[in-house]
């Protein structure tokens, strides 16, 4: 029988079973393609792009761009905010001594900020290489009135639906029909003009822009992983510079004190911008390696946009490019079909997992190399999903389904055979005995026992069915860890939950230095196994929230005990709520909170989640030792 079983599994992907292999595989391909057309993979493809860009080896420092940072210490030294015109004028005069080629002031100056406005007008008039900013997208901010239009660029970036920046807007038309250029393009154009590299229209795509011989690939609404994106104006995908230190950044204080190397400024582009956290001039960009993951100062993102243009023209650094849409879907279909073919060629099911995993890693590695070396952004997520489902999940499901059905059939066959044997033997004999009524006195004592035996024999079938059901007194937090026995004392089970959860690789568990834990016996006379399971899940959820969202946590306090007639489970940290994408879950609310509230109602207790001063979060569940009696008015009266 064992040999026959293996042969049946091995034949599963063959042509004789096309309904169970080919048809589901084609269905998966169709669903994956449809899901991508509907944009269901869009967010995952964005994150894959961000991850690939962030994982690239660090590039050399771009010495052509210098950032002058006006940070919190600078504002304290200046003594006021907004930065007065006198300070901006003095900064420009100091920079002029080092002879920069181009200077961009990434600070709005649509109105005078006294004192020193006249001094700023005179300084800017004497320095033709100084450019200012405006904002053309709503809410719009007018340009500096003292600068001509050709020395003004907008600072706008277009964010995706998840709030992150992945595109650079080079030019657009405002509501009045006037065309505006970005600050990055203005500064790059002015810098390259000194080397006779001029801005013009594209050759392959006349609607695109071209700097010298380098045509800037225009972003389309369905470029790469995008579906129906806003492609208004002239946009390019933003290929940020990799590495933790892509540009030199000097503070306002060091510049004014002369504590810089003159070669950093001479004949280079200088960007002046606000980096103070209090001004909130930050944007979301998961592709940039930054101190604050996902958050980048606006002036730094401007530097990346400038560096992308200069590097493409002068260094041959590739811009981000995508395949034609038809080639992308062909790529997905080919990989999905490859998953089906691999399963047919593999000799045994044990080879499925390693081959599919290695092939999937090859797909990821190849996609990363294409992006790193050639700037090609190809579909990764839908391709990997189609390949994995057809190559591993569907065959695995078939094998599991067949094995499970075989085991169920075998068990049912044994049960049926057992029952048939009892029915055809003892039960028939008992039935004949029970029908005999010749000597009632001799049966007075025997008859009850025969009825009991009859009932017990008939209960064998139900007993075997119950034994086939899985045990419910265990709880598995993780497949790699030992299951917990819910029949143990509650405080011991909760302590096991605490230790197993803290072993998980969550980011903010690593910063914890002090653990204050207290697990004492609890009074739980009426708790069911399901109640215990829910309490364990509550503690696990509270600890996981600390590990996932409590940024900078150094102290964790976990208390599980009985006091003042109440049982208490409390988790308290001293962390700060971590910044997250709009799609990420908050520390307060959500499914976990609803489950905790439902558990508190079931135990006639109370669930609380509150902020702790000066920072941190406290999550606790308390319920009475003797909960109020639950009256059942439908129960019969005694």
User: Residues 206-226: pLDDT tens digits?
Assistant: 999 999 999 999 999 999 999
Confidence of residue 172 (pLDDT cuts 50, 70, 90): very high
Q: Give residue 7's pLDDT.
A: 31
CA distance 202 to 15: 52
CA distance 171 to 153: 9
Q: Give residue 22's pLDDT.
A: 72
How distant, in Å, are the alpha carbons of 535, 554, 572, 587, 588 from that of 591?
15, 27, 20, 11, 10
Per-range mean pLDDT, top range of 1-15, 163-177, 579-593: 163-177
Q: Is the pLDDT of residue 466 over 50?
A: no
Confidence of residue 505 (pLDDT cuts 50, 70, 90): confident
Rounded to an integer, the average pLDDT of 537-550 is 86
Rounded to an integer, the average pLDDT of 43-57 is 94
Q: Is the pLDDT of residue 606 over 90?
A: yes
Percent of the chain with pLDDT over 70: 79
- What DSSP string runs through 43-108? HHHHHHHHHHHHHSPPPPP-TTEEEEEE-HHHHHHH-SSSPPHHHHHHHHHHHHTT--SEEEEES-
Structure tokens at 263: 């070669």
Percent of the chain with pLDDT over 90: 55
208 close to 215: Cβ distance less than 8 angstroms: yes
SS3 354: helix
Structure tokens at 56: 């690239």
SS3 506: coil
Q: Give residue 289's pLDDT.
A: 78
Rounded to an integer, the average pLDDT of 136-148 is 93
Q: Give residue 498's pLDDT.
A: 93
Q: Give residue 390's pLDDT.
A: 84
pLDDT digits 0-9 by tens, 353-370: 788 889 999 999 999 999
Q: Is the pLDDT of residue 602 over 90?
A: no
Confidence of residue 234 (pLDDT cuts 50, 70, 90): very high
Q: Is the pLDDT of residue 120 over 60?
A: yes
Per-range mean pLDDT, top range of 344-353, 464-473, 500-509, 516-525: 516-525
CA distance 201 to 212: 10
* Lowest model confidence (mean pLDDT) among 138-142, 250-254, 595-599: 595-599
Interacting residues of 620 by C-beta distance below 8 A, sequence separation 6+: 568, 569, 570, 571, 572, 607, 608, 609
CA distance 438 to 443: 9
164 close to 581: Cβ distance less than 8 angstroms: yes
Query: Angle of helix 352-369 relative to helix 381-388, nearest 10 degrees?
Result: 170
CA-based nearest residue to 396, from 460, 434, 349, 442: 349
Interacting residues of 535 by C-beta distance below 8 A, sequence separation 6+: 490, 494, 527, 569, 599, 621
pTM higher than 0.75, yes or no?
Answer: no
Checking phi first, is residue 604 left (phi over 0); if not, alpha (psi -120 to 50) or beta?
Answer: left
CA distance 350 to 104: 62
Confidence of residue 638 (pLDDT cuts 50, 70, 90): very low
Higher pLDDT, 574 or 438: 574
How distant, in Å, are the alpha carbons of 325, 627, 632, 633 from that of 637?
73, 22, 10, 9
CA-based nearest residue to 332, from 36, 95, 581, 540: 36
Structure tokens at 316: 């041959």
Confidence of residue 459 (pLDDT cuts 50, 70, 90): low
- Averaged pLDDT of the chain: 83
Rounded to an integer, the average pLDDT of 171-187 is 94
Q: Give residue 191's pLDDT.
A: 97
Q: Give residue 410's pLDDT.
A: 66
SS3 153: strand
Burial of 148-167, coded b for 16+ CB within 10 Å and e otherwise, reads eeebbbbbbbbebebebbbb
Q: Is the pLDDT of residue 587 over 60?
A: no
Rounded to an integer, the average pLDDT of 113-126 is 95
pLDDT digits 0-9 by tens, 26-35: 888 999 999 9
Structure tokens at 448: 């009850």
Q: Is the pLDDT of residue 53 over 50?
A: yes
Cα-Cα-Cα-Cα torsion 329, 334, 336, 337, nearest 10 degrees, comes to 140
């Amino acid at each position: 029988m064992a040999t026959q079983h293996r042969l049946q599994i091995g034949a599963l992907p063959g042509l004789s079973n096309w309904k169970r292999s080919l048809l589901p595989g084609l269905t998966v391909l169709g669903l994956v393609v449809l899901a991508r057309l509907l944009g269901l993979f869009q967010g995952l493809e964005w994150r894959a792009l961000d991850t690939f860009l962030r994982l690239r080896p660090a590039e050399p420092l771009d010495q052509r761009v210098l950032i002058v940072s006006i940070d919190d210490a600078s504002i304290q030294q200046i003594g006021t905010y907004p930065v007065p015109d006198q300070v901006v004028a003095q900064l420009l005069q100091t920079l002029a001594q080092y002879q920069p080629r181009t200077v961009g002031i990434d600070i709005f100056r649509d109105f005078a900020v006294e004192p020193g406005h006249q001094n700023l007008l005179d300084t800017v008039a004497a320095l033709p290489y100084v450019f200012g900013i405006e904002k053309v997208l709503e809410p719009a901010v007018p340009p500096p009135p003292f600068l001509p239009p050709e020395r003004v660029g907008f600072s706008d970036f277009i964010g995706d639906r998840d709030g992150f920046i992945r595109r650079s807007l080079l030019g657009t038309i405002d509501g009045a029909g006037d065309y505006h250029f970005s600050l990055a393009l203005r500064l790059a154009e002015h810098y390259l003009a000194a080397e006779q590299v001029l801005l013009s229209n594209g050759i392959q795509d006349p609607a695109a822009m071209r700097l010298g011989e380098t045509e800037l690939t225009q972003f389309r609404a369905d470029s790469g992983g995008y579906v129906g994106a806003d492609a208004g104006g002239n946009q390019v995908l933003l290929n940020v510079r990799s590495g933790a230190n892509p540009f030199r950044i000097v503070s306002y204080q060091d510049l004014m004190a002369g504590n810089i190397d003159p070669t950093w400024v001479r004949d280079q582009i200088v960007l002046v911008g606000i980096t103070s956290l209090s001004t909130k001039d930050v944007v979301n960009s998961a592709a940039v390696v930054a101190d604050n993951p996902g958050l980048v100062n606006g002036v730094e993102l401007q530097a990346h946009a400038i560096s992308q243009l200069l590097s493409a023209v002068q260094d041959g650094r590739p811009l981000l490019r995508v395949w034609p849409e038809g080639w992308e879907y062909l790529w997905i279909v080919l990989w999905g079909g490859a998953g089906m073919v691999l399963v047919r060629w593999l000799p045994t099911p044990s080879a499925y997992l390693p081959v599919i995993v290695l092939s999937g890693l090859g797909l990821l590695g190849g996609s990363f190399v294409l992006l790193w070396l050639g700037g090609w952004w190809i579909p990764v997520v839908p391709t990997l999903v189609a390949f994995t489902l057809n190559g591993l999940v569907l065959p695995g499901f078939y094998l599991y389904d067949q094995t499970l059905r075989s085991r169920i059939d075998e068990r049912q066959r044994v049960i049926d055979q057992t029952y048939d044997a009892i029915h055809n033997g003892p039960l028939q004999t008992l039935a004949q005995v029970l029908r005999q009524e010749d000597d009632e006195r001799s049966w007075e004592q025997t008859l009850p026992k025969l009825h009991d035996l009859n009932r017990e024999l008939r209960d064998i079938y139900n007993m075997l069915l119950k034994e086939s059901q899985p045990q419910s007194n265990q709880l598995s937090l993780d497949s790699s860890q030992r299951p917990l026995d819910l029949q143990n004392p509650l405080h011991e089970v909760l302590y096991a939950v605490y230790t197993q959860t803290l072993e998980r690789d969550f980011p903010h568990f690593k910063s914890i230095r002090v653990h204050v834990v207290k697990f004492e016996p609890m009074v739980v006379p009426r708790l069911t196994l399901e109640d215990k399971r829910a309490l364990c899940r509550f503690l696990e959820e509270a600890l996981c929230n600390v590990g996932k969202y409590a940024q900078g946590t150094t102290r964790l306090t976990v208390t599980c005990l009985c006091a003042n007639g109440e049982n208490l489970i409390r988790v308290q940290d001293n962390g700060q709520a971590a910044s997250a994408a709009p799609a990420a879950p908050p520390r307060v609310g959500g499914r976990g909170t609803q489950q905790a509230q439902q558990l508190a109602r079931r135990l006639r207790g109370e669930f609380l989640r509150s902020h702790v001063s000066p920072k941190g979060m406290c999550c606790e569940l308390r319920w009475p030792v003797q909960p109020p009696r639950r009256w059942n008015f439908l129960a019969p009266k005694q």
